[in-house]
Amino acid sequence: MSIHPSSIVAPGAVVPESCTIGPFCTIGPDVVLGEENHLISHVVLDGHTRIGARNTIYPFTSIGIPPQDLKYKGEPTRVEIGDENTIRESVTISRGTVGGGGLTTLGSGCLLMTCAHIGHDCHVGSGVIMANNATLAGHVHVEDYSTVGAFCPVHQGCTVGAYAFVGGGTIVTQDVLPFSLTSARRENKAFGINKVGLRRRGFSQERLETLHKAFRMLTNAKMNTTQALEKLRALEGEDAALLAAFVERSERGVIK
């Protein structure tokens, strides 16, 4: 096991021999690490935190810290992180609260850039990119393969849909449609599908054309949301069905 002598690993922590713990790291007694994790330096892992395999965590990151919630009274809430994530400098991930389900999660294969923040009781999927200073308030859901741009604050209780791209500096106060390109450049509106990102994920031209039709229906000024949903259900393919289901279950409303 490679643990720098300046680091502190509390009794009870689970750290496999395949892990590398750099200088000045602190690992709490209820932390469980998987295989081949690399803590570069000055990393704090606290609380009931479980981290999968082959994650790289950069300096001054804190994971499993108490939530920034005045109602929190030290309850043993948790953080769970998947595999093969890159977590860059000064990222913070808070553990959950009793009122929010007691759990904060991050999937696998994500990139969290410098100073990103995942608040208490958030659930971030796999393949997600959070750019520099992207911040999630409590109880936010970020679905698989979406991107939250630099300096984007996401209001508590919002959902960022799968495969969405949120442009830098966008203030998110409603749910972001799956597959969408949403940006403050257009007054916080969705102005089409995330065409480049979807192509990179292997979406066929046929799927892209169907999504173009679906978005035209949703943003058509001559139809209200109920009418647009009826049209969406008539389209073939699971993408249109996913989009319709997302709009139907939205509690905060969607950015259109």
Question: Which of the following is catalytic: 30, 46, 121, 144?
Answer: 121
Question: Which of the following is catalytic: 48, 117, 120, 139?
Answer: 120
Q: Catalytic site residue 144?
A: no
Sorted by sequence, the CB contacts under 8 Å of residue 216 that are 6+ apart come out as none
Give me the residues paired with residue 118 across strands: 93, 136
Q: Catalytic site residue 30?
A: no
What is the distance between the alpha carbons of residues 79 and 67, in angstroms, rounded to a whole number?
11
What is the distance between the alpha carbons of residues 253 and 256, in angstroms, rounded to a whole number?
9
What is the distance between the alpha carbons of residues 44 and 28, in angstroms, rounded to a whole number?
8
What is the distance between the alpha carbons of residues 21 and 120, in angstroms, rounded to a whole number?
26
What is the distance between the alpha carbons of residues 176 and 116, in angstroms, rounded to a whole number?
19
Longest CA–CA span in the chain (Å) reads: 67
Q: Catalytic site residue 168?
A: no
Question: Which of the following is catalytic: 28, 47, 96, 138?
Answer: 138
Active centre residues (catalytic): 120-121, 138
